Each structure stands twice: as structure tokens, then as C-alpha cells.
Amino acid sequence: MIAAMDGVTIAAAVRSGEYRAEQVLDACIARIAATDPQVNAFTDRTFERARREARAIDARRARGEPLPALAGVPYAVKNLFDIEGLTTRAGSKLLLGDPPAAADAVLVQRLRDAGAVLVGALNMDEFAYGFTTENSHVGACRNPHDLTRIAGGSSGGSGAAVAAGQVPLALGSDTNGSIRVPSSLCGVFGLKPTFGRLSRRGSFPFVASLDHLGPFARSVADLALSYDLMQGPDPLDPGCHATRVQPVRERVDAGISGLRIGVLAGYFDEQAGPEARHAVALAAGALNATPGVIWPDAALARAAAFVTSASEGGALHLPRLREHAADFEPLSVDRFIAGALQPAEWYVRAQRFRRIYRDKVLALFRDWDVLLAPATPVSATAIGAEQFELNGTLVPARPSMGLLTQPISYAGCPVVAAPLWPNGAAALPIGVQVIAAPWREDLALRVARRLEADGIATAPLASMPD
Amino acid sequence: MTDTPPDPTPIAAYVRAAAQLLALPLSDAQVGRVSVQLSRTAALAATLQRVPLEAHDEPAQIYEPAPFPAEDPS
């Protein structure tokens, strides 16, 4: 069944002639048709474009040309990525009157050049301000492993589409956890690269000083390959700090011998429920990781990330809030307004703290290569839930899903979210963050690959009608 | 002309005044909801007030998590 194959396997099958790219596309379209009425991951379908791209791959093979690394691999992108000819929604109805994008986002261009086939754009929280993808304009995205529950957010459509087998590969964005949270709740692998690694040009911003882009997949090999193919400097994106490609694909199977792997305690224990702690314990046991590592200033970093996001997000949308507040997502409009009104001192202080925080985090990584932490406090909550219980206390459901991801992204560290199933394959998944020092995605991917190879982290296809 | 009733909390008064300064029209109901949100952020911002910052601690204007490495890892 093609839906169960990962992208690396599909590309090999297309290269060998076992499948034509158009056959793969037909299977993908059929899977989307069968499952999306329930999942609601897709907001836009680009099947005509996909057909052209798939046929072009098949034509190249027929001519005997070598095929690129992702030849014929279907993928979809969070609907804040520009897709040529399509209006970029960013989860909102406020942008629907805007002209269509004149060009693909840089990362879409790079995947297109690698032979991947774009099949559509995916559901998200409006303007990426949320952790649940309960989008009031187009409907909530539902978790393929339990349709009554959230997919996580804000890249919920990306996590759900991969978990449902609609596509083997999807792109999302992560400002405060928006790749890692849906990866955790949907049971797929996700990579939030180092801040400044991948170009963000052609994506709709949320918090310019925190936004990252990255892939979702059902295998670490797919994460590594797609990440490698999306790397590259971009002098036109002032937030793209990488000046050359640092490929990881060939290093992913290098094993973990000699790596110093620790487990974060303190804040990361206190803000995690029993399932989350159990998942980390399973991963730590398999990796023989050292417990009790304290991440510096985690609670302060979460506070600073919250303040920074509110201020930049609110300021970005202030003109729209003045004129069209009633058309915003009701679940987040008040947070946007509150952010726009915040005293400047809060924001400046948070940014000044960030530089001090960075130095403390870099100092920690002098002693460790990789650190483990839960990705979400709990597994997927019910759609519409206002609160969940966290160690005996009721906490607000929507902002609290990011409690464990925000401190890490505020430092800009790369993280692989690895899906674990602490209560068995029939229960819900929950993710573990595999965290490395800035620019060391290779280490995070190596450790995640070990968890995958040992069967500790897996991303099985959700049981859906085909 | 109808007088707006006095705001019940200082934060609600702040929300109303700041919104007016930014030409952001808010209904009384919105003022209440936004005040709840801003109160949550205020509690978080208060924790940052305890961080000692010296005059030379500059903000990370375009944040770079670490210098991009000159060499690839071996």
C-alpha cells in the first residue's frame, strides 16, 4: 500500500520503475479523498499542478534521465507557505481577497527542484497563534488516531496529513512548538531546525524573531533527506544565518556511541503529565541517558517567549485588528489585541533576556550532546476542551500545550520530535523532544534514528479507511 | 453623550487607554476579555522583571542562536 510507504521508499520505487510518479499521485489523491472528510487536514488541493509535476518525472525517466532525490514523492504544506497561483491563507479568512502568490516559497521551490509533487495546502491555527488547529473558519483539524481529539497546532494539518497517510511528507512552521506539538499528538516525526537554518522567504510570518520552518514525516530518513534538500543560504532572508549546506543524511545512521545524552528534569518534569514522563523514561532507558539535567531558566524563557510572541504578533496584525477584528479567529483575537497593547518594556526586556539565556544554554551544551524532554504535557485532548489536568491542577488547554516546547525554541536549538506510544499502539501517542546544540541537527537526528531503529519511536499509519 | 462607566480594574483602564492611543476600537466586552489575556501576560512579564539586566546587556535584534560554524563537524 503506497500510503504506508515513506518518501525515501517511494522515490526509490519511482526511480526503479516499480511505480510511476503518476501512480503514486493517484494513490495519494485517493487516500486524501477517502480520509480528509474526517480529518479535515487539507484547505486547498493542487492536484492539477501535482499531475503536471508527476508527469514531468515520468517523462524524465522515460527519457533515461537520472531522477532527483524526491522524485514522485507527494507532499503538502501548511497554508502559510506561498504556492504560486494560490492565495496564501495563513489560516485566516482575512487574506482571502489578497492576490495569488506570484512564486512558490523558497522551501517549496527547493522540494519542487528535488522532484517532490505538491498536492495541497494544510489547515492551521489562524496566523499560527495556537496549539490546537481548532480553526473556526474552516473547521477543526481532527487527530487521525482519534477523530474526537485535536491534531495539535499550529501546524495541525501537517501532522494529521502525515499520520493519516495522505502524504509521506509535509512542511510546517514552529514559533513556539507548532511542529513539535502536532508531531507529538499525531504520532509522527517532526524536525524544528536551528533558528536561522532554513529560509523563511515566501512564508507568512507570525513572530519574525522566533519563526522556524521544517518537515514532518513518518521516518527519520525522510526528515533528514527533505531537510538536506531544503538547506541553503538565502541572503534575501535576514533571518537565515546559515551560510552553507551541512548535510546530515549520510550521518543519521552513525549510531550514538560516545554521545553524552541527558534527560531534562526540574521544569520539564513539573510541567509534564505521567504519560509524557513515561515516554521520556522509555526513550532514556533505550539510550542509557543520564537523568537529572537542569535546563537554565526554563520558566523565564517560556515567559519571554510568550511576551515576545504576543507583542510581535499583535503589532503585525494591528492594522487588521483596527478594521476587521470581528473577522479574526474568535479563539485568538483577544490574545492578538492584548499583545498589540503590551508595554514596550516587556518586549524589550524579553529580548534582552534572550541573549543572556542563549549563553547559559550554550554553556549547558559544553557538557551534553543531546538532551531529552517531553514534547507536550499530555497527549491529544478533546476538540473544544478548555482545560486539561496537569499533575492535579487544571490548566488552560490551548496555551499550555506549548509549555515544554517554548523554552527550547526561545534558545533556537534544533529538535526532533520523536513519537512514542507509552500506553501501547492502541492508545494515543506522545512525543519526546530530542534536543541538540544550535547547528547540530545531525546529533538530534542520529539519536532519533536510534530510537526508531530500536522500535522505541514509531510513526504507524493511523487506522483510516482507504 | 453617554459616559463610559469607570473600569473596574487598573488593567482594564490601561487596555482602554492604550487601545485609544493605537486607534483600536474596543467594545466594553472586548475590554474585559482583552484584560483577562493581558493579565496572564502581565503575570509572566513580572517574572522577567526579576532578571538583573545591566545597561550593556543589548537586545538580540536579529537573534542568532550561536555563530554559524566555520567548519563542519568531523
High-pLDDT (> 70) share of chain A, %:
100
Q: Is the pLDDT of residue A169 over 70?
A: yes
Q: Which of A437-449 are b and which e, b meaning 16 or more Cβ less than 10 Å from the residue's Cβ?
A: bbbbbbbbbbbbb
Take residue A443 and report the three cell numbers written for it.
Answer: 546529533
The answer to whether ipTM exceeds 0.95 is no
Set of chain B residues whose Cβ sits within 8 Å of the Cβ of A353: 48, 51, 53
Contact yes or no for B73 and A242 at CB 8 A: no
Q: Give the span between the Cα atoms of A69 and A404, in whole angstroms.
A: 34
pLDDT at A423: 95
Q: Report which of A120, A146, A147, A143 is spatially closest to residue A132, judged by C-alpha positions.
A: A143
Contact yes or no for A300 and B73 at CB 8 A: no
Take residue A442 and report the three cell numbers written for it.
Answer: 545531525
Set of chain A residues whose Cβ sits within 8 Å of the Cβ of B38: 338, 341-342
Show the DSSP H helices in A1-125 as ranges.
Answer: 7-16, 21-39, 47-62, 106-113
A374's enclosing H/E stretch is: strand A370-374
Q: Report which of A166, A161, A165, A178 is spatially closest to residue A90, judged by C-alpha positions.
A: A178
Tell me the pLDDT of chain B averaged across its residues.
88
Q: Which of A294-330 are b and which e, b meaning 16 or more Cβ less than 10 Å from the residue's Cβ?
A: ebbbbbbbbbbbbbbbbbbbbbbbbebbeeebeebbe
Q: Write out residues 186-225 of A within 8 Å (CB-CB) of B.
A: 194-196, 209-210
Q: Report which of A18, A133, A134, A100 is spatially closest to residue A67, judged by C-alpha positions.
A: A18
What is the DSSP pairing of strand A74-78 with strand A117-122? parallel
Q: Which amino acid is at A182?
A: P
Q: Is the pLDDT of residue B2 over 70?
A: no
Per-domain boundaries in chain B: 10-44
- Whether residue A191 contacts residue A445, with contact meaning beta carbons closer than 8 Å, is answered with yes
Residues 6+ apart with CB under 8 A from A77: A83, A105, A107, A108, A118, A121, A122, A158, A170, A171, A172
Residues of A catalogued as catalytic: 78, 154, 178
Take residue A245 and report the three cell numbers written for it.
Answer: 549546506
The more confident residue out of A366 and A426 is A366
Rounded to a whole number of angstroms, the distance from the CA of B2 to the nearest CA of chain A is 23
Q: Which amino acid is at A280?
A: V
Mutation target to probe the A interface, by most A beta carbons within 10 A, among B47, B56, B63 is: B63
Q: Which amino acid is at A399?
A: P
Q: Give the span between the Cα atoms of A181 and A200, in whole angstroms.
A: 20
| Domains and their CATH numbers in chain A | 2-453 (3.90.1300.10)
| pLDDT range class, residue A118, cuts 50, 70, 90 | very high
- Whether residue A133 contacts residue A124, with contact meaning beta carbons closer than 8 Å, is answered with yes
Sign of the Cα pseudo-torsion (A53, A58, A64, A68, in order):
positive
| pLDDT range class, residue B64, cuts 50, 70, 90 | confident
Give the tens place of pLDDT for each residue, A124-157.
999 999 999 999 999 999 999 999 999 999 999 9
Tell me the pLDDT of chain A averaged across its residues.
97
Sign of the Cα pseudo-torsion (A10, A15, A16, A19, in order):
positive
- Whether residue A53 contacts residue A15, with contact meaning beta carbons closer than 8 Å, is answered with no
Give, as one character, the DSSP assignment of residue A457: S
Mean pLDDT of A450-466: 92
Q: Is the pLDDT of residue B48 over 80?
A: yes
Give the tens place of pLDDT for each residue, A357-401.
999 999 999 999 999 999 999 999 999 999 999 999 999 999 999
Contact yes or no for A334 and B33 at CB 8 A: yes
Q: Write out residues 382-411 of A within 8 Å (CB-CB) of B.
A: 399, 411
Set of chain A residues whose Cβ sits within 8 Å of the Cβ of B35: 338
Instruction: Tell me which residues of chain B have a C-beta less than 8 Å from any C-beta of chain A.
Output: 14-15, 18-19, 22-26, 30, 33-38, 40-41, 44-45, 47-49, 51, 53, 57-66, 68-69, 72-73
Q: pTM to 2 decimals?
A: 0.96
Q: Write out residues 89-108 of A within 8 Å (CB-CB) of B.
A: none
Q: Is A259 helix (H, G, I), strand (E, B) or coil?
A: coil
Take residue A274 and report the three cell numbers written for it.
Answer: 505521567
High-pLDDT (> 90) share of chain A, %:
98
Q: Is the pLDDT of residue B1 over 80?
A: no
Q: Is the pLDDT of residue A32 over 90?
A: yes
Residue A178 burial (C-beta neighbours within 10 Å; 0-12, 13-18, 19+) = buried
Contact yes or no for A303 and B18 at CB 8 A: no
Q: Give the span between the Cα atoms of A444 and A191, in whole angstroms.
A: 9
Mutation target to probe the B interface, by most B beta carbons within 10 A, among A212, A309, A337 is: A337
Peptide bond into B74 cis (omega under 30): no
